[in-house]
Amino acid sequence: MRNAPYLDGIDPFAATVRGLTEPDPVRAALRAAGPLVQVDAPAGGRAWIVTDDALAREVLTDPRITKDPAFAPPGWDRDTAGLEQTAAAQPSLTTLDGPEHTALRRAHAPLLNAQRIRAQSGRVHTLARQLLTELATGRTTVDLMAGFTTRYPLTVLLDLLGIPLDRVDQAADSCRQMFGTEPGAQGRAIAALTELAAAGLGEDGRGLAAELRDRVPAHTSPDQLRYHLFGLIFAGQLTTDAALGVLIARALATGRHRGTVDRADTDALIRETLRQHPPAPFTLWRFTTAETEFAGTRLPARAPVLVDIQGISNDPARSPGPDLVFGAGPHFCIGAQLAHLELHAVAAVLRTDFPDARLTVPFTELRLTGIGGLQGSRLTALPVALHG
Ligand code: HEM
């Protein structure tokens, strides 16, 4: 058994700013090095990155690989690594595996399945329309990254969960604080978002928060329930925010928001946008529970493993078929249906209500900012004249 090649001097976790149309050279270098590649991890030691689609699907379904941060390399600093607490300290969809994870997924799944989300379609279109109309009123140009892409997914999520919408701005501030650099910023942001989530859990709560409360396993504590709600709010905002920016930019640049565009065309635009610019460029950290072999390569116990979703999605040799934009296996994104609805609704509202909308800078001048780590990039700004 051999060791995976080590790529010295390549940092896939660096903060970046680059043009929307510029390819990411790091991804090509990772792919060229092999299906499983070692790099320096941000929190010290090595990380193993999977760059091959088939191997990624094996890794994402292999019970020898766990999400539990208790298996992180000894000495890793949680903040530097961007890790949650251990599954014992903070059981959640993203820290548990096996039967406990399955039980929690069962509690969540019916709330966010295709049928339930389809039933929200009218409401989500109304929210998209309201927010864009408010933004357009009295303004010639608006920066949709500042005024829309964060607020809209949060508005949809809070509305679904049954949390009053006057808390949207507070939720947006806390989501931004999740990446604050002052000591303790992330802990304070999580505390603020869990407190906010509790607003959906009152006696008269009628949204999905109250429904989840009635469905989670009986041993779930109130704090744990609020953390599950925090997980939905944060994961749902972060990813959809980034996706919306690039989707709107591409729709306006290609005129795909005008005229008679059918659903299949919008589907294709969304799929292509997410594939080229996956909002989650990596999966979350996983760790080997014992020494393991993959594709003839040895991984030590407690090896941190990531799937390079962005590199795999943009592999020129990739065969057509399902992509990894929402992950695969038991941790497949539970919000995928909702994300699709949100993106569709915006494309539809631009078409019906803002057919003259246009970018006020050339598409090729739009820039993506990535804060580094496992986080994806979002457009630095998206200046748009909504009424042309
Ligand atoms: C375009 C938007 C989105 C993208 C690209 C995306 C991507 C992903 C990916 C790749 C994973 C798997 C991570 C892994 O296996 O390590 C994931 C999991 C997850 N996503 Fe999403 N997501 C999106 C929207 C949403 C929304 C709207 C919600 C909330 C309703 C959400 C909630 C979650 C949760 C809770 C998990 C963890 C599931 C588990 O571990 O069982 N996501 N997402």
Encode pLDDT of 234-255 as tens digits.
999 999 999 999 999 999 998 8
0.95 surpassed by pTM? yes
The residues that bridge with 293 in the sheet, in sequence order, are: 298
Which of 333, 340, 375, 377 for a ligand 1 pocket mutation test, highest count of atoms within 8 Å of Cβ? 333
Which range marks the domain in which residue 83 is found? Answer: 2-385
Check residue 73 and give its pLDDT. Answer: 97
Percentage of the chain modeled with pLDDT above 70: 99
Token code pair at residue 163:
């949390």
**In terms of C-beta density within 10 A (0-12 exposed, 13-18 middle, 19 or more buried), how is residue 343 classed?**
buried
**Residue of 239, 271, 312 with the most ligand 1 atoms within 8 Å of its CB, for mutation:** 239
> 336: CA distance to ligand 1 center in Å?
7
Which residue has 């251990």 as its token pair?
Answer: 86
Nearest alpha carbon to residue 159 among 236, 238, 245: 236
Domain with residue 127: its CATH number is 1.10.630.10
Q: Is 338 in the pocket of ligand 1 (CB under 6 A)?
A: yes
* Centre of ligand 1 from the C-alpha of residue 284, in Å: 10
Rounded distance from Cα 368 to ligand 1 centre (Å): 21
Residue nearest atom 23 in ligand 1 by C-alpha distance: 239
Chain segment 254-275, per-residue pLDDT in tens: 887 676 667 888 999 999 999 9
Q: Say how far apart CA 266 and CA 385 lie, in whole Å.
A: 21
Q: In angstroms, what is the span from residue 324 Cα to ligand 1's centroid?
A: 11
Q: How many domains does the chain have?
A: 1
